[in-house]
Structure 1
Amino acid sequence: MKPREKTPHLELSLINDTSWSLKKQEADKYTLILFYRGYHCPVCRKQLEEVKENLSRIIERGIHVIAISMDSEEKSKKTGKEWAVEELPIGYGLSKEQAKEWGLYLSTGINEKEPELFSEPGMFLIKADQTLYFSSVQTMPFTRPKLDDVIQAIDYIENKQYPARGEV
């Protein structure tokens, strides 16, 4: 998937017993999708807590945000409650096929805490017309973009009308 191209369709159930669809997003500017490894990942917990702490800054910029994993409904609801991030839209049940369609790397568990199969992290900033603006995909749980840097970049993008890059 390249910048300026339409992103794949994505529709999932949320931990608040509703559903979410990328097609139905009516964000003023962007949708920010954070694919996270799952309940077993302490780095993911930090990232989702950071998003929760900055939710008002994200929303005031016309951005919808969602965190998504391959975890089950039960594990995802446990994530929301135990990590105290229930106010974030948290989608669950991402399939192996969907993960591949989004270009995410897949890993198999290496200990009893990890699931048999899960996706590695990815961050996608999608314009209101559902075209990709920015993506960052990791093979490991470490070195994710800091949310503050992403917010500052979005401010710059908007102020300078900076186009998506990497489309060639």
Structure 2
Amino acid sequence: MSTQKLHPGDTFPQVKVTLIDDSEINLGKSENGLPWQAIFVYRGKHCPICTSFLNELEEVKSALADAGIGVIAVSGDSKAQLEEHMASLNVSYPIAYGLTEESMQDLGLYISKPRFAKETDHNFSEPGLFVVNEHGKLHVIDIANNPVSRPNLKTLVGGLTWIRDPKNDYPIRGTLNY
């Protein structure tokens, strides 16, 4: 099976997700006056590495906001799974549930089947990060095929802060596709 991947500079696709309070939002749209958005896709509550990563993300959320970047996390979990997962999370940024398999494919994410019923009850995406700029364009893309491959958050914050600094005039990289 082949996967279609998004490319740097592409317009972020229309993906609607639901927050725990049942409000719906479109991913890739700036919120709270922050012009950029970092979308962290995680596997789901069954993944202890995801839980640790989401809690670590809370520690750098304000540094990202200082750089003009809002944060949201999303998975294919159900509302009930997210509510249960929240007991293990200590986060204040928005987390959405219900990312559909079709949306996972639209985002070019790798999708896995659960190894057994106790793991989870649905196919789920592997981790992904999409940083969308104020023009709705993909500025940074990081897609993994397993839970152990994720960006170092301190490096990510430093790099995105540098990219967002207007004096650096740093373009979207990786736009030459053959």
TM-score of the aligned structures, taking structure 2 as reference length:
0.87
1:67–1:89 Cα contact (<8 Å) kept: yes
Matches within 5 A, 1:48-87: 48-85=54-91, 87=92
Residue number in structure 2 paired with 1:99: 104
Aligned length: 167
1:49-73 alpha-carbon deviations (Å, 9 max, x no partner) = 0111222112121111110000000
What percentage of residue pairs aligned between the two structures are identical?
33
1:163 aligns with 2:168: no
Report what 2:8 is aligned to.
3
Give the match for residue 43 of structure 1.
49
**Aligned residues of 2:28 and 2:37 also touching (Cα < 8 A):** no
- Does the aligned pair in 1 maintain the 2:30–2:36 contact within 8 Å? no
Describe the shift of the 1:122–1:72 C-alpha distance in structure 2 as closer, same or farther (beyond 3 A). same
SS state at 2:56 partner: helix
SS in 1 for 2:73: strand
Structure 1: unaligned runs, 5 residues or longer: none
CA-atom RMSD, angstroms?
1.5
**TM-aligned CA distance change 1:161 to 1:115, over 3 Å:** farther
Residue in structure 1 matching 2:94, options 83, 89, 96: 89
Could you state the TM-score of these two structures normalised by the residue count of structure 1? Answer: 0.92
Cα distance between partner residues in 2 of 1:133 and 1:119:
21
User: 2:8 touches 2:175 (CA, 8 Å); kept in 1?
Assistant: yes
Kindly provide the CA deviation profile for residues 12-60 of structure 1, in whole angstroms up to 9, marking residues without a partner as x.
Answer: 1101332222364245331000000000001101110011122211212
Moved beyond 3 Å, runs of 4+:
26-29
Give 5+ residue unaligned stretches, structure 2. 1-5
User: 1-side partners of 2:73 and 2:34: how far apart?
Assistant: 19
Give 2:50's aligned amino acid.
C
Bigger mean CA offset, 93-102 vs 53-62: 53-62
Alignment of 1:139-150 (within 5 A): 139-150=145-156
SS at match of 1:67: strand
**Partner in structure 1 of residue 17 of structure 2:** 12
Q: Please tell me the residue identity of whatever aligns with 2:107.
A: W
Whole-angstrom distance in 2 between the partners of 1:136 and 1:108? 21
Change (3 A) 1:21 1:46: same
CA contact (8 A) 2:17 2:27 kept: no
Equivalent residue, structure 2, for 1:114: 120
